[in-house]
Structure 1
Amino acid sequence: MINTVYTYDGIVNGFRRMRAARRELSDNELDLSLTRRTMKIGIQTWGSHGDIRPFLALGEGLQRAGHDVTLVVTSPDSACDQLASTAGVRIRVVASPVIDAAQTEVVANMAQGMKDPMKQMATLFRMCFAPAEDAMFAAARALAAESDLLIGHYVLHPLQIAAEQAGKPYVSVMLSHAGVPSAYNHPLQLDFLGKAGNRVLWWVTKLALNGVLKPYANRLRREQGMPLTRDVVGEVWLSRSLTLVAVSPQICERQPDWPETVQVCGFLDMPNIEVEGSVPAELEAFLAAGAPPVYMTMGSWMPRDRVWQRETLQWLTDAARLAGCRAIIQSPTWQDCGFARTDRVFYLSASPHHAIFPRCAAIVHHGGAGTTQSATLAGKPSIVVAHISEQEHWGRELGRIGVAPRLLKRRTATAAALAKRIGEVTADMTSQALLVSAAMRQDRGVETAVALIERKFGRTT
Structure 2
Amino acid sequence: MRIGLQTWGSHGDIRPFVALAEGLRQAGHEVTLLLTCVDSDAYASLSSPSGVKIRVVASPVIDLAEVERLGEAAARMVNPFAQTKMLIEGGFLPAEAAMFDAALQLAAECDVLIGHFFLYPLQIAAERAGKPYVSVLLSHVMVPSAHSHPIGLPFGQGALWRITRWALHKTAARYPNRLRATLGMAPVRDVLTEVWLSPELTLLGVSPRICARQPDWAPSLQVTGFLDMPNMQLEGRLTDEVEAFLAAGEAPVYFTFGSWTPRDIKHQSENLRLLTDAARLSGRRAVIQTPDAKACGFHSDQQILYVSASPHHLIFPRCAAVVHHGGAGTTQSATLAGRPSVVVANIAEQEHWGQELQRLGIAGKPLQRRSVSAGKLASRIRALRPDMPAKAAAIARAMARENGVATAVRIINEKYGVGNA
Same fold, TM-score > 0.5, yes or no: yes
CA contact (8 A) 2:38 2:62 kept: yes
Q: Unmatched 5+ residue regions in structure 1?
A: 1-38
CA contact (8 A) 2:44 2:56 kept: no
- Whether 2:4 is the aligned partner of 1:45: answer no
1:445 is matched with 404
Alignment map for 1:232-311 (pairs within 5 Å): 232-311=191-270
CA distance in 2, matches of 1:282, 1:264: 39
CA distance in 2, matches of 1:379, 1:45: 28
Instruction: State the shift of 1:84 in Å.
Output: 2.4
Say which SS state the counterpart of residue 379 (structure 1) adopts. Answer: coil
Q: Larger relative contact order (C-alpha < 8 A, sep ≥ 6)?
A: 1
| Correspondence for 1:401 among 360, 374, 381 | 360
Say which SS state the counterpart of residue 347 (structure 1) adopts. Answer: strand
CA distance in 2, matches of 1:364, 1:84: 31
- Whether 2:299 is the aligned partner of 1:355: answer no
CA distance in 1, matches of 2:369, 2:326: 11
CA distance in 2, matches of 1:53, 1:84: 13
Instruction: State the shift of 1:81 in Å.
Output: 4.3
Instruction: State the shift of 1:80 in Å.
Output: 2.9
2:94 is matched with 131
Say which SS state the counterpart of residue 374 (structure 1) adopts. Answer: helix
| Correspondence for 2:27 among 65, 81, 105 | 65
2:301 is matched with 342
2:80 is matched with 117
Say which SS state the counterpart of residue 28 (structure 2) adopts. Answer: coil
1:412 is matched with 371
Task: Provide, for residues 171-211 of structure 1, a one-character-per-residue CA deviation record: whole Å limited to 9, x for no partner.
Answer: 11011111110001011111x21xxx001111111111111
Identity of aligned residues (%): 59
CA distance in 2, matches of 1:251, 1:303: 29
Instruction: State the shift of 1:293 in Å.
Output: 0.6
CA distance in 1, matches of 2:237, 2:60: 27
- Whether 2:145 is the aligned partner of 1:182: answer yes
- Name which of structure 1's ranges 137-146 and 269-278 shifts more when overlaid on structure 2: 269-278
2:380 is matched with 421
- Whether 2:45 is the aligned partner of 1:86: answer no
Q: Work out the number of aligned pairs and report it.
A: 418
2:123 is matched with 160
Say which SS state the counterpart of residue 338 (structure 2) adopts. Answer: coil
1:432 is matched with 391
2:331 is matched with 372
Alignment map for 1:94-113 (pairs within 5 Å): 94-113=57-76
1:17 is matched with none
Instruction: State the shift of 1:352 in Å.
Output: 1.5
CA contact (8 A) 2:326 2:344 kept: yes
Task: Provide, for residues 139-170 of structure 1, a one-character-per-residue CA deviation record: whole Å limited to 9, x for no partner.
Answer: 11100001000000011111111111111011
Say which SS state the counterpart of residue 335 (structure 2) adopts. Answer: helix
Task: Provide, for residues 368-415 of structure 1, a one-character-per-residue CA deviation record: whole Å limited to 9, x for no partner.
Answer: 111101100000000000011111111011111111011000110000
Say which SS state the counterpart of residue 288 (structure 2) adopts. Answer: strand
Aligned residue type for 1:363: V
Task: Provide, for residues 103-126 of structure 1, a one-character-per-residue CA deviation record: whole Å limited to 9, x for no partner.
Answer: 111111111111111111110001
CA distance in 2, matches of 1:320, 1:304: 20
Instruction: State the shift of 1:76 in Å.
Output: 1.4
- What TM-score, normalized to structure 1? 0.89
Instruction: State the shift of 1:138 in Å.
Output: 1.0
Say which SS state the counterpart of residue 248 (structure 1) adopts. Answer: coil
CA distance in 2, matches of 1:407, 1:387: 10
Aligned residue type for 2:27: A
- Name which of structure 1's ranges 77-86 and 294-303 shifts more when overlaid on structure 2: 77-86
CA contact (8 A) 2:43 2:56 kept: yes
Aligned residue type for 2:84: M
1:198 is matched with 157
2:288 is matched with 329
Say which SS state the counterpart of residue 179 (structure 1) adopts. Answer: coil
Aligned residue type for 1:413: V
Say which SS state the counterpart of residue 427 (structure 1) adopts. Answer: coil
2:417 is matched with 458
Say which SS state the counterpart of residue 178 (structure 1) adopts. Answer: coil
1:217 is matched with 176
1:13 is matched with none
CA distance in 2, matches of 1:274, 1:336: 26
CA distance in 2, matches of 1:393, 1:257: 20
CA distance in 2, matches of 1:82, 1:50: 18
Instruction: State the shift of 1:56 in Å.
Output: 0.8
Instruction: State the shift of 1:82 in Å.
Output: 3.4
Structure 1 453/89 Cα, relative in aligned 2: closer, same or farther at 3 Å? same
CA distance in 1, matches of 2:115, 2:276: 40
2:133 is matched with 170
Aligned residue type for 1:72: L
Aligned residue type for 1:61: G
| Correspondence for 2:38 among 76, 98, 112 | 76
Say which SS state the counterpart of residue 250 (structure 1) adopts. Answer: coil
Say which SS state the counterpart of residue 43 (structure 2) adopts. Answer: coil
- Name which of structure 1's ranges 70-79 and 139-148 shifts more when overlaid on structure 2: 70-79
2:279 is matched with 320
Task: Provide, for residues 274-311 of structure 1, a one-character-per-residue CA deviation record: whole Å limited to 9, x for no partner.
Answer: 22222222211211111111000111111111011011
Say which SS state the counterpart of residue 141 (structure 1) adopts. Answer: helix
Query: CA RMSD for the aligned pairs?
Result: 1.0
- Name which of structure 1's ranges 281-290 and 412-421 shifts more when overlaid on structure 2: 281-290
1:54 is matched with 16
- What TM-score, normalized to structure 2? 0.98
CA distance in 2, matches of 1:418, 1:242: 40
1:26 is matched with none
